Structures are given as structure tokens and as C-alpha cells.
């Protein structure tokens, strides 16, 4: 067992474990692990008690909870895990938005739109969970400091940040995908995130140029994405073996 993996009380939990490569018994297992990006290795017993957001160790500030490590040595799996983390966050966020409709001042039409987006994000989350299988063994606890779920514009601004981050995240992490099938799946999702971003931005500033503020969307490094997401996550999002090489996008950010 990986001595670096700890429990749910604010300690480190490895999402996947490249070191388990040393423990495989046969060449066939080895090849299977390589093919999987090594993602078979899971610590379900350590994570079993972490569902329902109880893995905060009693702490609630951003990054104060159990660390969740995404190991880029896992290749494509790590990219999908990063996406899974973001989709968990988005699904949770819109769940709270929907739960607060009674007080947040959204019109009936806006409520319908936000409920649709909530469904899409839940589906993205559950799709990635199913795709990752045993590599999806983490549930993130969220925190929304500074977001007033009873205030329309406060909610929309947070939604804008999440959607823009999602677009830039998929755009930036796609260069690390090695399988065409995974790139296609990421592309199927990212354009829907971009549609969301456009809709949210239009709700903030209707019929302006805000729905698409640049001819090129951002293409962000995973580290940049993690910093943006961390503001809303109790769990500390940690990267291992993050690639040093990064090709920036045409907007030259990242």
C-alpha cells in the first residue's frame, strides 16, 4: 500500500498511483497498466468514508481539506480526472443555484436555463465518472466564499468564472491527450461549456460583446486551471508530474 496515501481527515489521498507499477505481477498486468496509464490503482477503502463532503477534516476554507492528487504520469487518465474534478465542481455549484431559486431573483426563463445547465454538468460529471471507472475514486468538497447564492449577479459572476475556466481547461489540457478518442470526447464537452459561458455572459450583459470577449478562447495550463478552481474547493488540488512542456494558445496565455 502506498504510504503516501492517507485518510479523509485532511490528509493526502492519491487519486491514482503510478508507484503501483512496481507491484504488478506479470508482464500482462504491466502492459495493461501502461495501456491504462496506470490508473487501475485505487484506494477505495481509503476513500469510502469521503463521500458526501465529509472529507474536510472539520476545515472548510479553500485548500484546507484532504489533498487530492492528480498524477500526470497517468497520461490521458490524469486529464480526464482534471475534467472530472471541474465537472464535480460545476455540478455542485449549479445544484446550489437551483436550490436557491426562491431567493435569488432569477426570472422563470433564467431558472429554466440554469436548470438545463445544471443537468448538463451533472451528465458531464457522471459521464466522466463512468469513463474513468475505478480511476474516478474521489469526491471533492466545495466552498463558495464570496458567492451569495441569494443574489442573481453574484451567482452569475461565479458561473462565468467556472464556465470560462472549464473552456480554458479543456482547451489547454487537450494537448496532453494521446488518444484520438479522448480528444474527441473532450471536444464534445468543451463546446457545450463554451455555449454555457456565452449564455451566462449574455445574462450578465445582454446583447453586448461579452458573450465572446475574444476571437480566441483561452488555452490554459492545468496549473492555471487548478488555481482558479481551488478557490471553490475545500480539498487541496495537487498535481504530480505535471508536464513542463506547454504549448500556449493563440491568445498567448496559460
Partner 1 sequence: MTHTDLTSPIDPEIVVALDRRAAEIARGATVASPIAAMLALGSIPIAIGALATDVYGQAPSDVLDVLQFALLLEYLESEFYQRAINSTGLIPASDIAVFSTIATHEVTHVTSLLELIKGRSGTPRARPAFDFTARGAVPGFAFAATQYATFKLLAQAFEDTGVRAYKGQLTRLMTDKVALNAALAIHSVEARHAAEVRRLRGGNGWITGSRRDDLPVFTQPVYDGEDNTTHGAVSVAALASGSGGVDSATEAFDEPLTMAQVTSIITPFLA
- Contact set with partner 1 (CB under 8 A): 31-32, 34-36, 39, 76-77, 113, 115-116, 118-120, 122-124, 126-127, 130-135, 167, 170-171, 174-175, 177-185, 187-199, 202, 207-209, 211-212, 214-219, 247-251
Residue nearer to partner 1 on the CB measure, 103 or 208: 208
Closest CB 29 distance from partner 1, rounded Å? 12
Residue nearer to partner 1 on the CB measure, 56 or 224: 224
Q: Which three cell numbers stand for residue 85?
A: 474534478
Closest CB 37 distance from partner 1, rounded Å? 8
Please report which residue ranges of the chain form alpha helices under DSSP H. 27-36, 44-47, 76-99, 101-104, 108-132, 152-173, 180-204, 222-230
Long-range contacts of 176-181 (CB under 8 A, 24+ apart): 176/72, 176/75, 176/76, 176/78, 176/79, 176/243, 177/76, 177/79, 178/75, 178/76, 179/76
Closest CB 172 distance from partner 1, rounded Å? 8
Closest CB 52 distance from partner 1, rounded Å? 17
Question: How many other β-carbons are positioned within 10 Å of the β-carbon of residue 35?
Answer: 11
Closest CB 185 distance from partner 1, rounded Å? 5
Helix or strand holding residue 238 (H, E): strand 236-240
Residue nearer to partner 1 on the CB measure, 129 or 236: 129
Question: Is the separation of the CB atoms in 100 and 121 below 8 Å?
Answer: no
Residue nearer to partner 1 on the CB measure, 103 or 188: 188
Amino acid at each position: 500500500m502506498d504510504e503516501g496515501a492517507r485518510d479523509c481527515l485532511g490528509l493526502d489521498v492519491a487519486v491514482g498511483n503510478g508507484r503501483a507499477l512496481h507491484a504488478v505481477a506479470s508482464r500482462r498486468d504491466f502492459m495493461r497498466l501502461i495501456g491504462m496509464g496506470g490508473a487501475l490503482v485505487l484506494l477505495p477503502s481509503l476513500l469510502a468514508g469521503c463521500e458526501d463532503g465529509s472529507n474536510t477534516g472539520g476545515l472548510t476554507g479553500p485548500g484546507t481539506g484532504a489533498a487530492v492528487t492528480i498524477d500526470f504520469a497517468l497520461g490521458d487518465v490524469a486529464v480526464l480526472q482534471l475534467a472530472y474534478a471541474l465537472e464535480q465542481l460545476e455540478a455542485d455549484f449549479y445544484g446550489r443555484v437551483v436550490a436557491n431559486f426562491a431567493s435569488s431573483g432569477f426570472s422563470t426563463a433564467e431558472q429554466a436555463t440554469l436548470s438545463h445547465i445544471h443537468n448538463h454538468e451533472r451528465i458531464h460529471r457522471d459521464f466522466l465518472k463512468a469513463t474513468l471507472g475505478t480511476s474516478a475514486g474521489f469526491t471533492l468538497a466545495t466552498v463558495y466564499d464570496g458567492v451569495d447564492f441569494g443574489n442573481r449577479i453574484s451567482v452569475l459572476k461565479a458561473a462565468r468564472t467556472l464556465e470560462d475556466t472549464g473552456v480554458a481547461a479543456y482547451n489547454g489540457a487537450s494537448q496532453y491527450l494521446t488518444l484520438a478518442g479522448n480528444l474527441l470526447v473532450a471536444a464534445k464537452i468543451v463546446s457545450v461549456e463554451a455555449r454555457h459561458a456565452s449564455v451566462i455572459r449574455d445574462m450578465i450583459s445582454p446583447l453586448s460583446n461579452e458573450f465572446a470577449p475574444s476571437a480566441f478562447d483561452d488555452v490554459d495550463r492545468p496549473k492555471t486551471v487548478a488555481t482558479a478552481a481551488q478557490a471553490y474547493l475545500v480539498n487541496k488540488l495537487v498535481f504530480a508530474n505535471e508536464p513542463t512542456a506547454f504549448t500556449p494558445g493563440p491568445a498567448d496565455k496559460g
